[in-house]
Structure 1
């Protein structure tokens, strides 16, 4: 917020959960006060019933918003930790054709173990890269190779539409000390259980939001759904939510720690916040319009 206020910036969401308008507390969307202090875009603009929202759609919207912000003479500030969104925006999207509904249905009817076993035959490279329990990625890789006859990696090698070559991207990767992060996780989980239950209860009453809608997988929704149904009590919901958040933070921490700090056309990583000292380390940014 300080950067947006001092540099005439516009805050643009790059978090896959915060695009939904139904869960401000559960997804930690910016407060109404923050939104009043600086322009915010792509926050809470998607309805929970929209099950087709994707990284490709977000990247298309982000490209448009970034162009509008530049045209207005302001600074686009992308905020959020959904790596797939950022990669798609910068690197472009793999031109995978639409998957036939019958192919998708057949793949999703498989258990992840069955899907991984078939993937090992049709796309052994993907099977070797993906964890056997990574349901989302295993099913995606299998449906692509079933529908197109080509491995997902082949499609990804032909990405198009990225903006990395046209912008100068300066990034700050936050890698806080573990004890500080743990305290924030506990406090955040307590706040979700205390203040987010009503949001999830309202979501659960909507007949137009299917059971496999992406928003139902957002951290906090499964736990509070079980709390609302009486399956678990508040203490158990808090424990499960804290564990889910801790695991997510660990994945994010590990992923960002392994991003190289050299500039190239794949990542926003010109600056890094050191985990211990919080000093900023700068690498030479790309040429082009600043983002």
Structure 2
């Protein structure tokens, strides 16, 4: 029997309940997920925190309409940019999707570059306490007005370790909110019981795309150019017209700041493309560091070595016994 799965019994015999595909931005994750979903009667579930936002399709390289028509996709473009979405919120959406996918007899194929989502999915996640609304307003105003340096300075007194270790404005702001609202540090809360995971690691085929650096950088450069030429400017212009706080996750997506500067006349198109490329390369490097440190036991694949369809066919053969 071919690996395109005429019946579901073959897939069940593989022992895998789900496929998880992680990797740095522009590494070809979506193409592999689509090819696998077609080969294995799968449903693709988004595990990228920025592709959740409906206003950011081009900027986040969300799957285009023709790909969405080829296989079922879940959790893409489901949130307004005004939402500040947490990992716990994502897990709650995923729990609902998993129930529906399993009831349909299809295979969930998770794909994305947000390492924390995969970690929470397979290891469980400690829910943080509710934050006092006044504390949240105060902290986010500080983030909007003073930026990362102001938040880090405010956090230094209450939680010096988090102030030193965290590099992202959203996580720094969250750590400040937690310690001011509860009197306990974010690390204290995270050491609590993680809760039950939605998927067991051993029951998942866990894959990380690990391309050569030069190959990835060339694809990132092409993506930056395409973003500016295929509607990215209009997308960011519409987002800016919503006048949202700069501390929101959607407002900090790579491409928003660079294109906003271009629209304001602060830089030209060539400089915007250069800044986009540099920012994306730096982000990819951070992702690779996470995967190396947090996903050491995941299988590595080189997407530069073969086409996504060929790789998917080879992987799908594992599901046939």
Which has the larger helix fraction?
2
Q: Corresponding residue for 1:144?
A: 178
Range with greater deviation from structure 2 (155-164 or 172-181)? 155-164
**Mapping 1:22-101, distance limit 5 Å:** 22-49=55-82, 51-101=83-133
Extract unaligned runs of 5+ from structure 2: 1-33, 312-321
Q: Corresponding residue for 2:135?
A: 103
Q: Corresponding residue for 2:41?
A: 8
Question: In 2, Cα distance between the equivalents of 1:240 and 1:128?
Answer: 26
CA RMSD, 1 decimal: 2.5
Any conservation in 2 of the 1:175–1:257 contact (CA below 8 Å)?
Answer: no
**Mapping 1:153-168, distance limit 5 Å:** 153-158=187-192, 159-165=194-200, 168=203
**Mapping 1:1-291, distance limit 5 Å:** 1-49=34-82, 51-108=83-140, 109=142, 111=146, 112-113=148-149, 115-131=151-167, 134-158=168-192, 159-165=194-200, 168-195=203-230, 196-207=232-243, 209-262=244-297, 269=298, 271-274=299-302
Question: In 2, Cα distance between the equivalents of 1:79 and 1:242?
Answer: 22
Aligned residues: 269
Extract unaligned runs of 5+ from structure 1: 263-268, 281-291
**Deviation (angstroms), 1:276:** 8.2
- Residues 151 and 212 from structure 1, CA distance in 2 versus in 1: closer, same or farther, beyond 3 angstroms? closer
**Deviation (angstroms), 1:237:** 0.8
Question: In 2, Cα distance between the equivalents of 1:175 and 1:15?
Answer: 17
Any conservation in 1 of the 2:41–2:106 contact (CA below 8 Å)?
Answer: yes
Range with greater deviation from structure 2 (150-159 or 85-94)? 85-94
Question: In 1, Cα distance between the equivalents of 2:54 and 2:303?
Answer: 32
Any conservation in 2 of the 1:63–1:89 contact (CA below 8 Å)?
Answer: no
- Residues 100 and 201 from structure 1, CA distance in 2 versus in 1: closer, same or farther, beyond 3 angstroms? same
Q: Deviations over 1:23-60 (max 9, x none)?
A: 221111111111111010001111223x2322211111
Any conservation in 2 of the 1:223–1:237 contact (CA below 8 Å)?
Answer: yes
**Deviation (angstroms), 1:82:** 0.6
Q: SS of the residue aligned with 1:71?
A: helix
Q: Corresponding residue for 1:285?
A: none
Q: Which has the higher contact order (CA 8 A, sep 6+)?
A: 2
Q: Deviations over 1:121-159 (max 9, x none)?
A: 43344345335xx43322222221121111211211222
Q: SS of the residue aligned with 1:160?
A: coil
- Residues 70 and 166 from structure 1, CA distance in 2 versus in 1: closer, same or farther, beyond 3 angstroms? farther
**Deviation (angstroms), 1:113:** 4.2
